[in-house]
Structure 1
Amino acid sequence: MTRWGEPVMHHPCRPVEVFDERLHALVADMTATMDAADGVGLAANQIGVDLRIFVYRCTDREEVIHQGVICNPVLEVPTGADRRLEESEEGCLSLPGAYAPCARPDVATVRGVDQFGTPIEVRGTGLLARCLQHEADHLEGTVFADRLSKRIRRRLFAEAEVLAEEFPADWPVSSRERSDDPDDPDDQDA
């Protein structure tokens, strides 16, 4: 998992232009990585790939599960009188374990194409709206800490520092391997 601070996380990603087997393999890898980390979304730059693509699997306000792939997303959120912010705890797989309150519009729409180049539009509410905004931000080089006050950002980074040992550099691979082996003495609770 690519962490905040790596250059690929902080600049806009390149558009997806080729919809081939390599892209399909990338989608499969991203989905497996998201699942291994118990995430609800994952952008390509979070695994070090400079492409405008993200995968997601999460619920909307009505608890309906939505999942998919969006390449070259264009995010639209309400403005003016239609804009309602919802503050909720937000985290990021690229800063694992740390959470902070982040206000975002309660509805979001993303237009783009799927992994085959077919046009799609996804409208989200609840967690899905937050996920669509979070992942689209990643592809623009924005991490959610960029949307926080300095005070909350400092608290977020302090929390991540305290939890750093739980998320080694090869997380989620190493933590998943430990949790899959009940006989591993290094995986026993103290």
Structure 2
Amino acid sequence: MTKPTRNHHHPSRANGPKADSIDTATPSIIPVVGDGARGSKMERFEILLRRYEPLVFSVCRELTGDQRLADLCCEEVFVEVFRYPEDLTLSPTRFLQAVLRLALDRADDMMKSQSELIARGRWDAISGLEEEDRNIFLLRFLGKVEIEELSGLFGLTSEMVKHRLWQAMSHLYGRQIGDN
């Protein structure tokens, strides 16, 4: 079996991919992820790669601040997903959370190796958030996902999503003031 590769000539790669929507109710994603997953491991992986790569790349680019590092980060995330086929059977929400956690960890490792103190401070603050708050924050502000979509994805009301975002921003702002 050959190693899965990403299309490095993505049409929107010049400005970075846009992650406008992550509607997990789309019929194309339901048979691929979760208990009802169908198709070979490679088929499911390729569909997930096409579906989530723009979002993961966008998050990695925002966190690393560098397109080359973001490309490497995103590639490492999906190689990790491919190596662990049990990730392909998670529910869509749990799969997205797992992928975001991997992206955060990989980007954190890259930024530490780049020795950028400002980026590290941002990472420390983001890493200090509760997992669901961190995922909501990353998807909203780095992935540009709308409040209503987050509400459906996490099974929360729009008001609760806004409250969780406010809590995350308060935590991050508090960490920033405390560091100065």
Give the structure with the larger helix fraction.
2
Whether TM exceeds 0.5 here: the answer is: no
User: Please, what TM-score do these two structures have when normalized by structure 1?
Assistant: 0.26
- Between Structure 1 and Structure 2, the one with more strand by share is 1
